[in-house]
A = this chain, B = another copy of it.
Amino acid sequence: MSGICGNGSEGAESIVVSGGYEDDEDYGDEIIYTGAGGNDPNSKRQIADQTVDQPGNAGLVTSQTNGIPVRVVRGSGGDPVHSPAVGLRYDGLYRVSDHWSEDGKRGFRVWRYRLQRLDSDEETPYLPPENLPPGRQAPGQSRGVTTRILRLTEVSRAVKAIHKSTCQVCGLRLGVPGGSVIEGGHIRALGSPHKGPDTPDNVLCLCPNHHALFDQGGITLSDDLRIRDFEGKDLGALRTSPKHVISIDHVRYHRGLWLN
């Protein structure tokens, strides 16, 4: 019954968007897609929690983390503006740019994936690699109009300065010639649908590994700022500073994206 073809080790090859989940949102070039599982196919209503370990759901996670494009097929049961009048239609390649979990319209946990349309000629679809692909000696360039959220570098800079460019999770400082590598990561993500603020109490000073893990739910924080991995194991206390107050509301919002 899943509209997702794929699995966690190889990624998702394709999805069908046909109104099977009442939580789906179809904006044409962008789709907020509901993961598989827990749905009553007759009423289209959620009757149980979804899990990210379901093969199709894990496939879409792997498509995001590995940058594997997903074929999108729309069916006539979907959004009337963007769907075919009858049958199914292949609508090109999309990338998975974000995912999280939330309570669906019926109060059960659903996994949500943001898919964004790719230019038709810029990507190759999913193919299991049997041999190494040849690649390209001279990669081309693409020009496109993009929308991005404006982050104030002064906010991240100030937070990084307080923590002396060391990661608040692991304490590492990654030295490079002339400087160091460190990132400011937002606890409650900026932009729709999370709409977090670009304020110091919503920013952590993180190494790239812990930034990526935090953004994808590999680690979460408890209300007393203990670090937990996604299997619940306690990894110790977040490194904090009295000069940098962290919003527990935002910590709870982030944790709510990944844990029931």
Segment at the B interface, from A24-32, A40-48, A78-86, A143-151:
A143-151
Q: Which residues of B contact A217 (CB under 8 A)?
A: 176-177
A window 223-248: CB within 8 A of B: 229-230, 243-244
Q: Is the CB of B133 within 8 A of A158?
A: yes
Q: Is the CB of A200 within 8 A of B149?
A: no
Q: Is the CB of B144 within 8 A of A146?
A: yes
Partner of A218, one of B53, B159, B181, B218: B181
**Assuming the A-B contacts A58-B178, A178-B58, A209-B207, are A139 and B149 also in contact, with contact meaning beta carbons closer than 8 angstroms in the complex?**
yes
Q: Is the CB of B213 within 8 A of A176?
A: yes
Q: Which residues of B contact A180 (CB under 8 A)?
A: 62, 65
Q: Which residues of B contact A5 (CB under 8 A)?
A: none
Give the Cβ gap from A241 to chain B, nearest Cβ, in Å.
Answer: 11
Q: How far is the CA of A168 from the CA of B59 in the complex (A)?
A: 24
Question: How many residues on chain A are close to B (CB under 8 Å)?
Answer: 84
Q: How far is the CA of A219 from the CA of B14 in the complex (A)?
A: 38
Q: Is the CB of A148 within 8 A of B154?
A: no
Q: Which residues of B contact A53 (CB under 8 A)?
A: 177-178
Q: Is the CB of B197 within 8 A of A137?
A: yes
Give the Cβ gap from A38 to chain B, nearest Cβ, in Å.
Answer: 15
Besides the known contacts A61-B178, A139-B151, A146-B146, 4 further A-B residue pairs in the complex with CB atoms under 8 A apart: A62-B180, A132-B200, A133-B154, A181-B213
23 contacts between A and B (CB under 8 A): A58-B178, A61-B176, A61-B179, A64-B179, A66-B156, A68-B153, A124-B154, A127-B154, A132-B155, A135-B198, A135-B200, A136-B197, A139-B150, A139-B190, A141-B148, A141-B191, A144-B146, A177-B218, A177-B258, A181-B213, A207-B208, A207-B209, A208-B209
